[in-house]
Chain A
């Protein structure tokens, strides 16, 4: 440390605060609420939902406070200073040299996602108060929803990978519970199982990745930072230290990415997401659009140094993450065109947008991808809640656009307006939020040299605009069909049967309105077009790629208040983080590029989007309303189009591939073999052991028990009896006999005496 004194400056301590120090409360409150709802929820006046909403509001307040204090903390640092995350950890369990801890790791990324999760959870819970009124398992729904929020919040602020894994798995469990909320219908329970198993397939990668990273990094992190190989801070520093074996870190990165593929619905494990729409709409909007599916992206963003080094991001050529992301964007957008279920359109749209986030991360555009998490959450949740609003109040719980919707813009103005705002945000139209996030991704991808992928991104934007316009047209324009027209073909006992379609109540529309405002305005938090001072998110969230020399004070690792930094002459040049081994300290984040905004590039993407919208509008109008003879039945008439259509409708036959080919050929024979093994070999061993034991015990019983043991007992008794019987005659009372015996004894005694004495 003394060697560096000449070159380093000691800087002022960073601001901290109560919310930052006690951010660990954020997941604890929902966890306690979950337990309370399970225990006493059914007896409360609002059946436990009041506990859920209250706990979410509390988490929201705590997250907002933490966000505010984080911003203060960033502002209190100088421009080149690394803003230390607020890390607290407690040891949970020690065994065999492994130390498992729990703790918090609050930095910009955590704060953003915490806020998003808490906010959307609160709105969704308020929405569910009305949406699920009278449901058969109302209390358990809120319990599961609260537990989910607790789990995700725990995952987001986890400081080590074990706690991260815990939160990940809790989310998977709650997803299963919530998708299968109405499990009485077979399709719902199958969908829940499909979701669970598909994500589980990816989770193997998570376990493998965590273990590999632990065993590879533990020695280095213990020696240099005093942290265990599970801690995120330690792993990040280790990845950028130049120490890891390149194969090891690559395999670990791929393993972790497989987990992300599963959780975030990337190709090829995307098949569960559309089926997950079988769950109630609040579930779809919370889990499967804005929060849970983002966990995979969050994993990549959180352990970005591992992926950066392992998969050689910013190196030449593409990498695995980019490929998967790009493929996902295109195939899911294509699938969205052939869906009649409005929620499925939105589901495929979610998958596609997640592909964008992955593409961005893979290309080194870390901040735009994280910002897209932020904006996407708002407008996608708004779209889903809007779909729920339509089903609740207009189409009799049906989600089929072609048969039960149409012309709803006149009867549901609020829902319509919020839908349009969110759609425009999704398509990336200026000045809505999607423009600032999605276009930034595409821009940075191109800037970092991946032109092919940039083109793919633009194509995706075109397709997004097109299918969203189709869905909007079918839902809100044209003539009302089916239930929207007031024809109630089924469920005439429904309470709303008498009125036609109408706008939903305030508990449903209020969240919609709040979200649409955010869909409109949240982009301004990182409005790159307007100049660097508008890039608030970048300032607050992006970790700075500087070398850090920590001097730890009695506060423990991560609590260093004084940070020594290489002197100012290096401050504006590129840091070595990510490209070379840091010599003086440790790096926690790699140096990334940022594209300079050009209005010309923005105009190009806007033109593409408008083209998409226009073409789709015209086609939709012609096809659905005017029933143009040239277009109707086109796919049946032209063979190739028909084949393509079928291919899309069958989801590229991927489901069939997975279930019928892979599962059948691998699982069935294995299960049959295992069954055979179990029945014949294991059970056979058991049976033969048991029959042997029976024979042995029978033999023992017959021979030893009956003969020896019983024999001893019986014979001793018989012996005693016979001795007694034999001795009885001596008590005959006959004097003569007594005399005879007396003398006989005397004779014997005499003889004995004589013999002894000679």
Chain B
């Protein structure tokens, strides 16, 4: 197996995740896209861990999973709060900080 095939896979997932962040209006969907991105990073780490024959990449991947989980928790809590106040979770409507 080539190194590049895993890395390319990760790159594609990353770009799709970026597109999702840009294009989605729903806050939850945006968070999902961010999950995509994080997963692609994980694949990257593990590929390199295998390539280099070390376990540092595994450790980091685990940490990323943990952080992602925490982040989703907090993020959804925010979304909930926003929904309670504004009755909408469309990020287009959250424009009170306009300049």
Task: Please determine whether B22 and A733 come into contact, CB atoms closer than 8 angstroms.
Answer: no
Contact with A along B17-52 (1 / 0, CB 8 A): 010011011000010000000000000000000000
Among A736, A739, A744, the one with the most B-chain Cβ atoms within 10 Å of its Cβ is A736
Task: Please determine whether A732 and B30 come into contact, CB atoms closer than 8 angstroms.
Answer: no
> How far, in whole Å, are A747 and B18 apart by their CA atoms in the complex?
10
Please give the number of chain B residues whose Cβ is less than 8 angstroms from any Cβ of chain A in the complex.
Answer: 14
Contact with B along A719-748 (1 / 0, CB 8 A): 000000000101111111001100110010
> How far, in whole Å, are A747 and B17 apart by their CA atoms in the complex?
13
Task: Please determine whether B99 and A733 come into contact, CB atoms closer than 8 angstroms.
Answer: yes
Which residue on chain A has the smallest CB distance to residue B15? A747
> How far, in whole Å, are A734 and B22 apart by their CA atoms in the complex?
12
Which residue on chain A has the smallest CB distance to residue B21? A739
21 contacts between A and B (CB under 8 A): A728-B99, A731-B98, A732-B95, A732-B98, A733-B94, A733-B96, A733-B98, A734-B91, A734-B94, A734-B98, A735-B91, A735-B95, A736-B25, A736-B30, A736-B92, A739-B21, A739-B22, A739-B30, A740-B21, A743-B18, A747-B18
Q: If A728-B99, A731-B99, A732-B99 touch, does A740 touch B94 (CB 8 Å cutoff)?
A: no
Shortest distance from the beta carbon of A729 to any chain B beta carbon, whole Å: 9
A residues touching B (Cβ–Cβ < 8 Å)? 728, 730-736, 739-740, 743-744, 747
CB-defined contacts of A734 to chain B, threshold 8 Å: 91-92, 94-95, 98
CB-defined contacts of A739 to chain B, threshold 8 Å: 21-22, 30, 91
Q: Does B97 contact A (CB under 8 A)?
A: yes
For the complex with contacts A733-B97, A734-B95, A743-B21, 20 further pairs of A-B residues with Cβ separation under 8 Å are A730-B99, A731-B98, A731-B99, A732-B95, A733-B95, A733-B96, A733-B98, A734-B98, A735-B91, A735-B94, A735-B95, A736-B24, A736-B25, A736-B91, A739-B21, A739-B22, A739-B30, A740-B22, A743-B18, A747-B18
CB-defined contacts of A728 to chain B, threshold 8 Å: 99
Shortest distance from the beta carbon of B94 to any chain A beta carbon, whole Å: 5
Which residue on chain B has the smallest CB distance to residue A732? B98
B residues touching A (Cβ–Cβ < 8 Å)? 18, 21-22, 24-25, 30, 91-92, 94-99
- The A-B contact count (CB < 8 A) is 38
Which residue on chain A has the smallest CB distance to residue B25? A736
Which residue on chain B has the smallest CB distance to residue A739? B21
> How far, in whole Å, are A732 and B99 apart by their CA atoms in the complex?
6
> How far, in whole Å, are A734 and B25 apart by their CA atoms in the complex?
10
> How far, in whole Å, are A743 and B37 apart by their CA atoms in the complex?
12
CB-defined contacts of B24 to chain A, threshold 8 Å: 736
Which residue on chain A has the smallest CB distance to residue B18? A743
CB-defined contacts of A736 to chain B, threshold 8 Å: 22, 24-25, 30, 91-92
CB-defined contacts of B99 to chain A, threshold 8 Å: 728, 730-733
Which residue on chain B has the smallest CB distance to residue A743? B18
Shortest distance from the beta carbon of B12 to any chain A beta carbon, whole Å: 15
CB-defined contacts of A747 to chain B, threshold 8 Å: 18
Shortest distance from the beta carbon of A724 to any chain B beta carbon, whole Å: 11
CB-defined contacts of B22 to chain A, threshold 8 Å: 736, 739-740, 743-744
CB-defined contacts of B98 to chain A, threshold 8 Å: 731-734
> How far, in whole Å, are A732 and B92 apart by their CA atoms in the complex?
10
Q: Which 6 A-B pairs have the closest CB atoms?
A: A731-B99, A733-B98, A733-B95, A733-B97, A735-B91, A740-B22
Which residue on chain A has the smallest CB distance to residue B22? A740
Among B21, B24, B25, the one with the most A-chain Cβ atoms within 10 Å of its Cβ is B21
Shortest distance from the beta carbon of B77 to any chain A beta carbon, whole Å: 16
CB-defined contacts of A735 to chain B, threshold 8 Å: 91, 94-95
Shortest distance from the beta carbon of A717 to any chain B beta carbon, whole Å: 21
Shortest distance from the beta carbon of B7 to any chain A beta carbon, whole Å: 14
CB-defined contacts of A744 to chain B, threshold 8 Å: 22
Shortest distance from the beta carbon of B23 to any chain A beta carbon, whole Å: 8
CB-defined contacts of B96 to chain A, threshold 8 Å: 733
> How far, in whole Å, are A222 and B65 apart by their CA atoms in the complex?
119
> How far, in whole Å, are A743 and B96 apart by their CA atoms in the complex?
22
CB-defined contacts of B95 to chain A, threshold 8 Å: 732-735
Which residue on chain B has the smallest CB distance to residue A736? B91
Shortest distance from the beta carbon of B1 to any chain A beta carbon, whole Å: 24
Shortest distance from the beta carbon of A32 to any chain B beta carbon, whole Å: 87
> How far, in whole Å, are A739 and B18 apart by their CA atoms in the complex?
10
Which residue on chain A has the smallest CB distance to residue B95? A733
> How far, in whole Å, are A102 and B15 apart by their CA atoms in the complex?
108
Among A732, A735, A743, A747, the one with the most B-chain Cβ atoms within 10 Å of its Cβ is A735
CB-defined contacts of B30 to chain A, threshold 8 Å: 736, 739
> How far, in whole Å, are A731 and B97 apart by their CA atoms in the complex?
8
Shortest distance from the beta carbon of A42 to any chain B beta carbon, whole Å: 84
Which residue on chain B has the smallest CB distance to residue A741? B22
Shortest distance from the beta carbon of B36 to any chain A beta carbon, whole Å: 13
Shortest distance from the beta carbon of B16 to any chain A beta carbon, whole Å: 12
> How far, in whole Å, are A733 and B96 apart by their CA atoms in the complex?
6
Shortest distance from the beta carbon of A435 to any chain B beta carbon, whole Å: 123
Which residue on chain A has the smallest CB distance to residue B93? A734
CB-defined contacts of B94 to chain A, threshold 8 Å: 733-735
> How far, in whole Å, are A739 and B27 apart by their CA atoms in the complex?
12
